[in-house]
Chain A
């Protein structure tokens, strides 16, 4: 029960009715200047969306006076540390990934000592009163531990907990021995679940392994995309094979191999090694690259994505919608047959399944539900958008080399900033923004700057969020225009391709160590199309940051593309 006494609550209800007059008064000026830019209004919106705060009078004076002041403010918002939180939330909503705490249980090992002990679980609490101690004791579930976990107050030892080194927690000697000097070997539960759930890690003594770890596992995909944006990597990196993102809680989780079956996640050993020094209260996700792992594709193979979208078809469907802005829609048959047979060819089903099922096959090495990684033997050769492959790295390459990915990213960012979809008549605007996004090598930061400073955003007027005549989804199969050059009338292998191919490909691809040979024109006639895909995605030669947009590799890729087209290979 609340103890405060506040007798004026009914007045609020009365006042709410009266308060409605505030809005028209404040908004009147805006409607009078409908056509013009209103930098005060734009500032309020940009600052809230990008930094989650409302401008003060001083900020309005400094930043909303003229266009250049406003633009400088937007740049500051993007450089501000709070931009991280805004982009994180944007991606959480975009990817729709969240997991209840129970999902952690499936990763727990059945026992940790080969006997009956499930988890070395502590329960931490602070007693009542100002001078009370913060203590951690064994949680129930193991009678033996319970007995040895109890000790007189005089025997308790002070230790510094790993989640907040400034705090002191008192534990019995058996706890300190088993859990380590900072308790990091044990699973911790906090007595006040509500506080533990809502605490920003490291800001208080409240810590609960259940919520902290699941929250980070859920947010890993969003964290990866956010780190890509904040560090200004090309946005195509969100699907980069071998790239992941880890915060302190996940580093702590990956380090508890005695509690959790980390192998299920197919986490590269190199990742574990790199995380040894990470402190648990580092709440920000950092990018970690572990080399080219063909079965991984950035956000698409994070635990949160895999478990939230449990079936391979669901995973395929969700990426089709969320990363390519396209939906599977078809006229369903009036009567569903009991055994429809092959959905990819059956009338009434194939409208979706002819595309959806091959797309889902890229996930073949990943089991459904909690099964997770199944090994490379399960890989299938499949196709999407007219391009073939068998691994998630191939799928990543197909998606990032399709203009639909860039266009969809623009569309999603537009909806975040503008609060509505594009109208059909705004196709040129979407195309312009997409071209700019590609031109800045997929810089999401620059895309946001372009949107927040666009006259459409700074407009004083406000419209309905429901767009009655929306723009069509981006078409599949189009290569981003700024990454294509005009082909020479007749590309010659020996003069146009041979020298660069020797420099960038033949050094490794000499037919040894299981690698295909790319030394001769005959080799390129046989493998040119596959090589083109790898060049275009930035997967080859090693060391590319993403799809090449300029330089020697770009020239090689373009000459190969033109040659393949002209030779009809």
Chain B
């Protein structure tokens, strides 16, 4: 019995070894293929499109308009993924995190599977409330990830929780999408106060920054480009 178990173990180990060798071999093969893939397909006939024509472009830029561009709402279907992808690598954790907020996608104003319902281009009260809920979930995974829900993820805050002003300023810049120099000082002061008010008896934790993150996510400057 004991001999059989040992034999089985050896057999399994050798199988695993063979698989590992194959994996490495496959990976190398795939890399090689990826780099030469384009040449493997027959390309369409004829020339590529043209490149920059500076003279002609100046002519186009000379035709002006008095009308301004409209504010654009970031694509509601991709809101969570795009926010996460700025800080996290694609993988199972990102997939799970998006899965957690998937049920809010239609409330956010997302498209139906077949695009019969097209993505909303503006906000209504439903999509704003859904945005708040989604922002809460995503902010938690960015600012205060937990080992059991987000194993391997660190907080995006640049400094420890006690560096209030630096962390809040960082969040404001990243979520509002404006240079730090353009963020009014009183905004930072208020965000600092909000974060302080959520600190626990043991002091500031990463979790205390979540309300500030959510507030910034739902600010007009973040909601519209």
| Chain A residues near B (Cβ < 8 Å) | 3-4, 6, 8-9, 11-13, 15-16, 18-23, 25-27, 29, 34, 40, 44-45, 48-49, 52-57, 60-61, 64, 89, 92-93, 96-100, 154, 157-160, 165-166, 168, 194-195, 197-200, 203-206, 231-235, 237, 240, 243, 270, 274, 277-279, 282, 286-290, 308, 417-420, 423, 425-426, 428-429, 432-433, 435-436, 439-446, 449-450, 453-457, 459, 461-465, 538, 542-546
Contact = CB atoms under 8 A, between A and B. Distances in A.
Interface string B11-32: 0100110010011001100100
15 contacts: A26-B184, A53-B82, A100-B113, A165-B30, A166-B23, A203-B91, A204-B95, A234-B48, A423-B67, A432-B60, A441-B47, A441-B48, A459-B69, A462-B69, A545-B48
Contact of A279 (B30, B48, B49, B56): B30
Nearest to A277: B33
A430 to B, nearest CB: 9
B202 interface: no
A426 B75 CA distance: 26
A308 B57 CA distance: 38
Contacts of B197: 11
Interface of B: 8, 12, 15-16, 19, 22-23, 26-27, 30, 33-34, 37-38, 40-53, 56-57, 59-61, 63-72, 74-75, 78, 82, 85-86, 89-92, 94-96, 98-99, 102, 111-115, 118-119, 121-122, 132, 136, 140, 146, 148-149, 173-180, 182-184, 186-187, 190, 194, 197-198, 207-208, 210-211, 214-216, 218-221, 224-225
Nearest to A165: B26
A159 B15 CA distance: 9
Contacts of A287: 41, 43-44
Contacts of B112: 98
Contacts of B52: 440, 446, 449
A442 B49 contact: yes
A544 B46 CA distance: 4
Contact of A11 (B42, B198, B224): B198
A464 B50 CA distance: 34
Given A22-B220, A165-B26, 7 more contacts: A45-B69, A93-B115, A158-B19, A194-B96, A279-B30, A418-B69, A462-B70
Contact of B92 (A49, A203, A237): A203
B219 A22 contact: yes
With most chain B CB atoms within 10 A of its CB, the pick from A34, A49, A454, A543 is A454
B118 A93 contact: yes
A160 B85 CA distance: 28
B42 A290 contact: yes
A89 B78 contact: yes
Given A27-B221, A52-B82, A60-B179, A465 B92 contact: no
A456 B64 contact: yes
A40 B46 contact: no
A288 to B, nearest CB: 5
Contacts of A243: 44
A545 B44 contact: yes
A61 B173 CA distance: 13
A435 B198 CA distance: 58
Contact of B187 (A22, A157, A443, A462): A22
B180 A57 contact: yes
Given A49-B225, A449-B52, A463 B37 contact: no
A203 B68 contact: no
B41 A288 contact: yes
A12 B46 CA distance: 58
A154 B8 contact: yes
A429 B23 CA distance: 56
B217 to A, nearest CB: 10
A56 B161 CA distance: 21
B49 A234 contact: yes
Contacts of B48: 231-234, 441, 545
Nearest to B9: A154
Contacts of A204: 91-92, 95
A286 B82 CA distance: 23
Given A16-B218, A287-B44, A165 B113 contact: no
Given A15-B194, A277-B40, A288-B42, A3 B33 contact: no
A508 B145 CA distance: 68
A8 B183 contact: no
Given A44-B178, A203-B90, A436 B46 contact: no
B115 A19 contact: no
Shortest 4 CB-CB distances between A and B: which pairs?
A545-B46, A23-B220, A443-B49, A419-B70
Nearest to A82: B85
Contacts of B12: 154
B44 A233 contact: yes
Contacts of A16: 132, 215, 218
B114 A98 contact: yes
Contacts of A61: 179
Given A23-B220, A45-B72, A166-B23, A440 B50 contact: yes
